[in-house]
Structure 1
């Protein structure tokens, strides 16, 4: 890794006051992505199939730190901070997931990747679903982890049963104009800490330093505004999702990853009405933050999905070749 004070590490970094965290074998990069500078952390096999990872609220690319090293043994791994997240720019734009997806895809292309796998959690999965609809021809497969995707897996109404309401109450809160900013400004650590402790099966999954790290990202200039904007633009995300689905279904392989104590009991079942090929698993002993709580299970599921789909593609190509007399 480069020295923290060296130019390559900070060149193009729009959030310089936020500490950078390194992961052995990976490099920080910033790319222009359709007018927005996005932060990517890249490593693994340069000649391997590319896997792009997206995290959700209130996390950053660091959410994948326990999964990335094992993936890197076989794949070219790229974890991207969404607009408004981590060390990516926090622009004053629409944060509907189709707009954000275009920026994410532009970042992947700017890194020299033309086709890739996509794995995403929470709000990252919102963006990933919309990206798959927009850029299906360049996507090899899609893995979605425990996410209430607007118009797709998100319930139409916030439940009032206290046993369920704690999982989704914040959707309505984040939509209220001005009030969340008034209440949360200066109290980001308390708010972020609540999510990371209550939505995990084991409340000690995240230590104090990790809570501080994620809270600092939300508190950094424009971070809170951008975090809320994803929810405030969710209705537009849902509208654009359904508009796209009127023209097509998802034809790429989809893996839904749920957890025993997560928000969406069966991601695969929720996705199947919109996808031609959707399979699913439920990770035991985990809450909402599955890559942090059960990284080995997530890694195994992703590697199994990626390699199995790759083998299926090769078999289909071989079969097509035989039908046309090729060998």
Structure 2
């Protein structure tokens, strides 16, 4: 991890999560902004006059999931990685983790950072939020890229498969929905749980080193992080309902790029969202599992750059 940014590049006094280390990325600055009564943590850098690209991560990660891709994107783009509510160094409210409520908070945060229109890029649970945000705030988006995510009511299957060859990818959705039991089983064992997800769902076995696993586990264990992580799954039915209500009025009109991987959870993201999107294209990243930005960051940067360039010219 790089911790070489100067003291001027951080705002530790604003850090709402006491005891959780704040890691720096060279060339980027930590920011905290008010988002409808809670503080969201953002990491901002890159080309200040370039097109804005906003990044959202998923479970069990934080903005740090994008650390390998951010320098490449920063060469041409104004890059902002945001910790969702409950992630990393953002506040962990006690309720309202349905993706439309979270999307509203993310949009408020982006507006507070003086970005009026942007490209939205999101993975896993971040893609849940991004889909809902695109339905609510299309006027603020140039386009959206969704990476390997089963989105509630859209690409998330209604039933969990029992075939062992497939069940390992989705079994946790049902487990996280059970009241109280996950907390009882996982409290104090957050590192073991995070370690399983990161190692099993990544294709290269050495994708995550011990320090990175420690980082994500600490974020889940700190001050309501486990409760917040589970809350996204427990509010998934409400997220699905609100997605369906919104889709009854209109489909996605912004360009959508579905980014899949050779060994991920959703074989064809573009096909899975195309019934609800007027302009959906896709790309498959080879030699990658679920954690595509960690496993193949250069390929992700290339795919996003090509998508943005194509849509800007078009």
TM bucket, shorter chain: over 0.9
Structure 2 equivalent of residue 298 of structure 1: 300
Structure 2 equivalent of residue 205 of structure 1: 207
- Partners of 1:105 and 1:279 lie apart in 2 by 24
Structure 2 equivalent of residue 113 of structure 1: 115
Structure 1 equivalent of residue 193 of structure 2: 191
- Partners of 1:89 and 1:116 lie apart in 2 by 24
Task: Tell me by how many angstroms 1:17 deviates.
Answer: 1.1
Structure 1 equivalent of residue 254 of structure 2: 252
- Partners of 1:65 and 1:149 lie apart in 2 by 24
Question: For each residue in 1:205-258, what CA deviation from the matched residue of structure 2 results, as whole angstroms up to 9, or x when unmatched?
Answer: 100010000000000001000000000000000000000000001010000000
Length-normalised TM-score, structure 1 = 0.94
- Partners of 1:249 and 1:13 lie apart in 2 by 38
- Partners of 1:7 and 1:147 lie apart in 2 by 33
Of 15-24 and 231-240, more deviation after overlay is shown by: 15-24
Matched, 1:85 2:87: yes
Structure 1 equivalent of residue 230 of structure 2: 228
- Partners of 2:19 and 2:109 lie apart in 1 by 22
1:160 corresponds, among 162, 165, 169, to: 162
Q: Secondary structure at the residue paired with 2:11? A: helix
Gaps in structure 1 of 5+ consecutive residues: 313-327
Matched, 1:132 2:134: yes
Structure 1 equivalent of residue 143 of structure 2: 141
Matched, 1:2 2:10: no
Q: Secondary structure at the residue paired with 1:11? A: helix
Structure 2 equivalent of residue 178 of structure 1: 180
Task: Tell me by how many angstroms 1:36 deviates.
Answer: 1.1
Report matched runs for 1:284-295 at 5 Å.
284-295=286-297
- Partners of 1:12 and 1:236 lie apart in 2 by 32
Structure ID, larger Rg: 1
Over 3 Å counting, the alpha-carbon distance change for 1:7 and 1:165 in structure 2 is closer
Gaps in structure 2 of 5+ consecutive residues: none
Matched residue pairs, number? 310
Q: Which runs of 4+ in 1 moved over 2 A?
A: none
1:73 corresponds, among 72, 75, 81, to: 75
- Partners of 1:274 and 1:2 lie apart in 2 by 45
Task: Tell me by how many angstroms 1:152 deviates.
Answer: 0.4
Q: Secondary structure at the residue paired with 1:113? A: coil
Task: Tell me by how many angstroms 1:138 deviates.
Answer: 0.9
Task: Tell me by how many angstroms 1:2 deviates.
Answer: 3.1
- Partners of 2:128 and 2:9 lie apart in 1 by 34
Q: Secondary structure at the residue paired with 2:154? A: coil
User: Are the counterparts in 2 of residues 12 and 37 from structure 1 also a CA contact under 8 Å?
Assistant: no
User: Are the counterparts in 2 of residues 144 and 254 from structure 1 also a CA contact under 8 Å?
Assistant: yes
The root-mean-square deviation of aligned C-alpha atoms, in Å, is 1.0
- Partners of 1:202 and 1:233 lie apart in 2 by 32
- Partners of 2:109 and 2:86 lie apart in 1 by 14
Task: Tell me by how many angstroms 1:8 deviates.
Answer: 5.2
Structure 2 equivalent of residue 308 of structure 1: 310
Structure 1 equivalent of residue 50 of structure 2: 48
- Partners of 1:103 and 1:239 lie apart in 2 by 19
1:123 corresponds, among 122, 125, 132, to: 125
